[in-house]
Amino acid sequence: MKRIYSIENGKKGGRPATEKCINKFIIPSINTVILTEYQYNTLIEKYGILLIEKALRILDDWLSTSPIGIKHKGKNHYALFRSDGWLLNIAKLCLKQQT
């Protein structure tokens, strides 16, 4: 495996970026959320497609409208999908209200 060092990962010569982390994954109808294909598939396996789709829509709206969210544009958003985080909790509540 070829090791590619990325300055974006921190200091020069930071941790090596693996092949699964290099390419961005385009999610249909989501404009501002950035995930790799590996991260997207991992989230779907862990939480299910309905919850992740709802969470992606919520995050996309937050990144587009919130002044704090605008600061996070252009970065990878995988860390926001914590099992005890605000994003998944709001998505779970929205799904409960729909049923």
Task: Give the tens place of pLDDT for each residue, 54-90.
Answer: 999 999 999 888 888 878 877 888 999 998 899 999 9
Query: Is 75 among the domain residues?
Result: yes
* Cα(78)–Cα(25) distance, integer angstroms: 12
Residue 14 has pLDDT above 60, yes or no: no
35 or 18, higher pLDDT? 35
Task: Please give the tally of structural domains in the chain.
Answer: 1
Query: Is 8 among the domain residues?
Result: no
Query: Is 93 among the domain residues?
Result: yes
Residue 94 has pLDDT above 70, yes or no: yes
Q: Which H/E stretch holds residue 17?
A: strand 16-17
- Does pTM top 0.85 for this prediction? no
Query: Is 5 among the domain residues?
Result: no
Residue 20 has pLDDT above 50, yes or no: no
Query: Is 36 among the domain residues?
Result: yes
Q: Identify which of 14, 11, 47 has the alpha carbon closest to the alpha carbon of residue 3.
A: 14
- Which residue stretches of 1-99 are H helix? 19-22, 37-47, 49-65, 67-71, 86-98
- Structural domain of residue 37, as residue ranges? 24-98
